[in-house]
Amino acid sequence: MSETSAEQVASTEALVAERKPRRLKFRIFRYNPQDPNSEPRMQEYRLEETPFMTLFIALNRLREEQEADLQFDFACRSAVCGSCGMLVNGRPTLACKTLTSDLPRVIHLHPLPSFQLVGDLSVDTGSWFRGMSERVQAWVHERAPFDPEAQEERMDDELAQAIYESDRCIECGCCVAACGVAATNDEFVAPAGMNRIARFMMDPRDGRGRRDWFDVISSDEGVFGCIGLMACQDVCPKELPLLEVYAYLRRKALGGWFLGGK
């Protein structure tokens, strides 16, 4: 089995090496809001494709070789830091995870919508996530004062896994950018916010009761803002089960309505 896959890799590499490299055309959004002379425009760049080239590599080469002041964000180049979210041919995704070979010869790059523009392809996702965290109070609310001597409370393995699953969010902002509601309602907590709510709602260490959570989710800024467009789950680079989270919160809101109380 391993032999076959090694052969396959070798033959793919040979094929890639043999193919005449494409000359990619990038159409990149350029605008610097800090510069009063800057006008929003689309600028074209050409670059020869290399084997296994990602947009991370392509953009860095463009900046090194052609446009020193091109703004975009990168840190980890391995889909962990969540910095390089951008619209690639109209779809929010991570540039470091995107191979140019998956794209046609002409590649359109825009900054993620629904965030504040820093410049060119760089947007301020940090302030948005900070604000969202504050608004949904995304931290464990202790039930009792912390006792460093006491043993940690035990938790079901399944529950721990579910919390971990929600925690896999890297805050890249792709789901926010793909969300039709977040695009029109600035107050909406968006899929990432709902995922965060669900994470702390599930956590048995969190002291917030049904009533507290009901107040957070049962509004158009919370779970009822969502109209089920499903784009968040379709674009999430970490493939989080955002629709399940969403239905879970909806049922919780319904339960809170029937049961009331704390």
Partner 1 sequence: MREATRVIDRMRTDPPPRGSRITAPDGRKQVLYEVLASGSGAVLAVFMWGHMFFVASILLGTRTFDTIAQWMEHVYVAQPTVFIVLALFVLHAVLAGRKVPAQLRERKRAFALASDLKQSTRRWTGGDALTRPHAESWIWIWQVRSALLIGILGSFHILLMGLDIFSDLFGRMEGIEAVSSMARTRAGLVWLYLPLLIAVEFHASVGLLRLAVKWGPGNRLSRRTLWRIEHVIFWSFIGLGLLVLVVLAGWIDPPLAFLTGDGP
Question: Binding of partner 1 at residue 55 (CB under 8 A)?
Answer: no
Q: Is there a contact between 94 and 81 (Cβ–Cβ < 8 Å)?
A: no
Tell me the number of residues near partner 1 by CB under 8 A: 77
| Residue closer to partner 1, measured from CB, 154 or 262 | 262
Regarding 31 and contact with partner 1 (CB under 8 A), the answer is: yes
Q: Which is nearer to partner 1, 76 or 103 (CB)?
A: 103
Closest CA to 166 of 131, 136, 122: 136
Query: What is the dihedral sign for C-alpha 38, 43, 71, 232?
Result: positive
Is 48 strand, coil or helix? strand
Regarding 137 and contact with partner 1 (CB under 8 A), the answer is yes
Map the footprint of partner 1 across residues 139-198, applying CB under 8 A.
178, 180, 183-184, 186-187, 189
Residues of 82-121 as b/e, b for ≥16 C-beta within 10 angstroms? bbbbbbbeeebbbbbbbebeebeeebbbbbbbbbebbbbb
24 - beta bridge partners?
A: 47
Q: Please state the length of the chain.
A: 262
Taking the complex as a whole, the smallest distance from the CB of residue 223 to partner 1 amounts, in Å, to 9
Q: Establish if 91 lies at the interface with partner 1 (CB under 8 A).
A: yes
Site string for partner 1, 214-233 (x = CB under 8 A): xxxxxxxxx-x-xxxxxx--
* Closer residue to partner 1, CB minimum distance, 30 or 77: 30
- Smallest gap from Cβ 129 to partner 1, in A, equals 9
Task: Report CA torsion sign: 246, 249, 255, 256.
Answer: negative
Minimum distance, C-beta of residue 6 to partner 1, in the bound complex (Å): 21
> Closest distance between partner 1 and the C-beta of residue 148, in Å?
29
